[in-house]
Amino acid sequence: MSRDRRSLADALARIEQVRERRRGSFYLHDEHITLSHGSGGKATHNLIEGVFAAELSNPILDLMEDSAVFSFNGTGERMAFTTDSYVVHPLFFPGGDIGRLAIHGTVNDLAVAGATPAYLSAAVILEEGFPVSDLRRIVASMREAAEAAGVAVVTGDTKVVERGKADGLYINTAGVGPVRSDAALSSAGARPGDRILISGRIAEHGVAILMAREELLLETEIESDTAPLDGVAAALLEALGSDVHCLKDPTRGGVASALNEIAIRSGMALAVEEENFPIRADVRGACEILGIDPLHMANEGKLVAVVAPERAEEGLEALRGHPMGRAAAVVGEVLDEPPGVVFARTGIGGQRVLDMLVGDALPRIC
């Protein structure tokens, strides 16, 4: 057998071992899909790991990052590629709509991979009877968001289904962009002593969606934070380069899910200070009314960064120097044990395990 064939056989054998390990570790006990499988929490994690990743395993997918990063043309240059679907309800909400969200979400997945977003695709599934005026408004939002992020929507697809089969409109977007040469980002890259930074105030998107959905009224209006992260991510990478070890955008499942993904992939423990997270008082109050931890609330315009400890203050300064990072804060640190665990230190001196969201409290949030 030639060396190339042996290498291919070895790779296929390793992939099958990963599949078997995932089938055993993340066996999906549910017999039917529930809304909790779309909330971005533990059920979503088990669904992805136990079904999709188990069967489709390959060296790029197995990294389970927000974007796939790969070399091309034998030049050593790297590209990032990502895709996402948007089923948010309601379609229009304070601070944005499904069109703006679709562009920002894909731009942000590329940005936290260390890429410069360049080209996007957009596929739309429309329901019979959907108002053309609403469609025009949504597509105009997509155009505005793409122009602001410096990307172009260069290809797409449109399908129409029977009345009552699509809840109005769904959007899928995909995107590509070149990865910076100085970016060495991975969820597995967290190291003991690293500091954890957040680029701004959390939980605003999740609260805005739930309040619009449930028609809750407060004295102040809370808007989604949906925004492109490419500029603030680039500012941090320009300042710290390879001393930025990981970037994540804490969308479904919120900061808690993003931190748990880092802990699981790196085998490290993450400790955060609850009082260090920047949260608006009205957002915190809304979370209390809704009975949901703000650390589980979705964000669409914030990033979590894990950086070398000696560069943390410099990184914080770089974030605060960008308009989208003015409320940035250092919120925690990476420890070497207990592996794979995230815990939050409370304001009264205690601590609690900060797990992924359990249940279906936040379906259709993006």
Q: Which domains does the chain have, with CATH numbers?
A: 1-64 (no CATH), 65-181 (3.30.1330.10), 187-353 (3.90.650.10)
Q: Residue 16 has what pLDDT?
A: 53
Determine contact, residues 257/365, Cβ cutoff 8 Å: no
Cα of first residue to Cα of last residue in the chain, in angstroms, is 49
pLDDT at 22: 44
Residue 292: what are its φ and ψ, rounded to 5°?
-125, 135
Q: How confident is the model at residue 74 (pLDDT cuts 50, 70, 90)?
A: confident
Q: What is the pLDDT of residues 261-313, one digit of tens each?
A: 999 999 999 999 999 999 999 999 999 988 899 999 999 999 999 999 999 99
Q: Which residues contact 23 (CB under 8 A, 6 or more apart)?
A: 50, 54
* pLDDT beyond 90 at 226: yes
Categorize the per-residue pLDDT at 1 as very low, low, confident or very high, splitting at 50, 70 and 90: very low
Beta strands in the chain (DSSP E): 68-71, 78-86, 92-93, 96-97, 119-127, 152-161, 169-178, 195-198, 244-248, 269-273, 304-307, 329-335, 342-345, 351-353
Alpha-carbon distance of 275 to 261, in angstroms, equals 22
The two structure tokens encoding residue 336: 């070497």
Binning pLDDT at 50, 70 and 90, where does residue 198 land? Answer: very high
Q: How many Cα atoms within 13 Å fall on the side-chain side of residue 364?
A: 19
Q: What would the two tokens of residue 149 be?
A: 């992020």
Whole-angstrom distance, CA of residue 178 vs CA of residue 53: 25
When the pLDDT of each residue in the chain is averaged and rounded to a whole number, the result is: 90
Q: Residues 272, 332: contact at Cβ < 8 Å?
A: yes
Residue 159, number of CB atoms within 10 A of its CB: 10
Spatial separation of the C-alpha atoms in residues 55 and 23, rounded to whole Å: 9
**Residue 231 CA to its chain's centroid (Å):** 16
- 8, pLDDT greater than 90: no
**Mean predicted confidence (pLDDT) in 169-186:** 96
- For residue 137, the surrounding DSSP H or E stretch is helix 132-149
Residue 9 has pLDDT above 90, yes or no: no
Is the pLDDT reported for residue 251 higher than 50? Answer: yes
Average pLDDT for 219-226? 89
User: How far apart, in whole angstroms, are the C-alpha atoms of residue 193 and residue 272?
Assistant: 13
**At how many degrees (to 10) do helices 312-320 and 230-240 cross?**
140
The pLDDT of residue 23: 46
pLDDT at 240 over 70: yes
Are the beta carbons of 167 and 245 closer than 8 angstroms? no
The reported pLDDT for the residue numbered 18 is 46
364 near 38, Cβ under 8 Å?
A: yes
The three-point CA angle 323-328-332 to 5° equals 160
Asked if 115 and 178 count as a contact pair (C-beta separation under 8 A), the reply is yes
Q: At what angle do helices 281-290 and 204-214 cross, to 10 degrees?
A: 50
Structure confidence at residue 42 as a pLDDT band (50, 70, 90): confident
pLDDT band at 332 (very low <50, low <70, confident <90, very high): very high
DSSP result, 193-262? T-EEEE-S--SHHHHHHHHHHHT---SS---------HHHHHHHHHHHGGGEEEEE---TTHHHHHHHHH
How large a percentage of the chain has pLDDT more than 90?
75
- Residue 22 has which token pair? 């995932």
